[in-house]
Amino acid sequence: MIGTTGKLRGALLVNLGTPEAPTEEAVRNYLAEFLWDPRVVDVFRPLWWYILHFKILKTRPAESARLYQKVWTDQGSPLMVTGDRQRDMLEEALTVGREDTVPVALAMRYGAPSIHDGLRRLVDMGCGNVVVLPLFPQYSIATTASVQDAMLAALRGWKDAPVCKLVNNYHDHPAYISALAATVREAWEKEPPSDVLLMSFHGTPERYRTKKGDPYFDQCTRTAHQLADKLGLKPGRWQITFQSRFGKEPWLQPYTDETLITFGQRGIRSVDVICPGFAADCLETLEEIAETGRDQFLNAGGKKFRYIPALNDREDHMQALAKVARAHF
């Protein structure tokens, strides 16, 4: 076992997580861990424990399992399948031109493989310095800060703990913006641009922004503006929205689902949707946007809906992540 004496540099890719299977039991286990994180839901703990275990986990797992079954592949969860490819490609990108290998491990904030196991794997391979790269371009206390919590908890008590550097965000990194723009241009080369490009980011409660000082909204806005500038889009040809809200309190607005319906009702005939905050396609993009969002827009009167896939394992995406990681070595 090699710890801080290890000479190698390594990287830990971290995404949100996924159930191990599209079953009610597996989804219940995943949601129990995810929704109990106080970074995600900061309601008074005893009250939230009761709501979570006696209400949400009684009904939501069955519904969510049906949705996961719609996007599950023969190889498994789309997020995990893509994550495995991203890990291999990032390791290759970081190793090119070096005499030594730069090991890369994959971890999930919730579920398996855990952040603890990912760090342990890198240490056992001889890594004494590790860049922890959450696949969340925009910082939020509900995502990146939670990864930091888990990282610190995983290292607690280790006698061979590596030196870890956490990537805070890369929301305006030129290579990331260029990769996003390339995906849009490629879609437009196949078919002409739609009337509007909708940039849909995952939502968070509005009070995280107003009362906790979360920079997430501002970073999403900067990403959207830089992408629009890169594409040469004029005002009115693009819009930023937020998806996946949960519960009754206000979340960041405008909401993606309501915007799509309004677009259809207003006579906007076609819309392209990209989700810049998602590094890999998952339930929230493949089902919520590409399927449900499509139905919402078309049923409201729209004529053409196109979902532009996440960056996934595109070569330009992986090169962008390599540049981000190298800056922290």
Would you say residue 19 has pLDDT above 80? yes
Q: What is the mean pLDDT of residues 173-178?
A: 98
Would you say residue 218 has pLDDT above 80? yes
Q: What is the mean pLDDT of residues 1-22?
A: 83
Rounded to 5 degrees, what are φ and ψ at 199? Answer: -105, 105
- pLDDT given for residue 5 in this prediction: 53
% of the chain exceeding 70 in pLDDT: 98
Q: Which residues contact 155 (CB under 8 A, 6 or more apart)?
A: 119, 161, 162, 164
Residue 85, exposed/middle/buried by CB under 10 A (0-12, 13-18, 19+)? middle
Q: What is the mean pLDDT of residues 61-80?
A: 98
Q: Nearest Cα to 98, choosing from 4, 165, 10?
A: 10
Contact 14, 134 (CB under 8 A): yes
In what order do the strands lie in the sheet containing 8-17?
Answer: 104-110, 8-17, 127-134, 163-166
Query: For the chain, which residues make up each domain, given as ranges?
Result: 24-71, 174-308
Contact 198, 293 (CB under 8 A): no
Q: How far apart are alpha carbons 9 and 235 in whole angstroms?
A: 44
CATH code of 174-308, in short, is: 3.40.50.1400
Would you say residue 207 has pLDDT above 60? yes
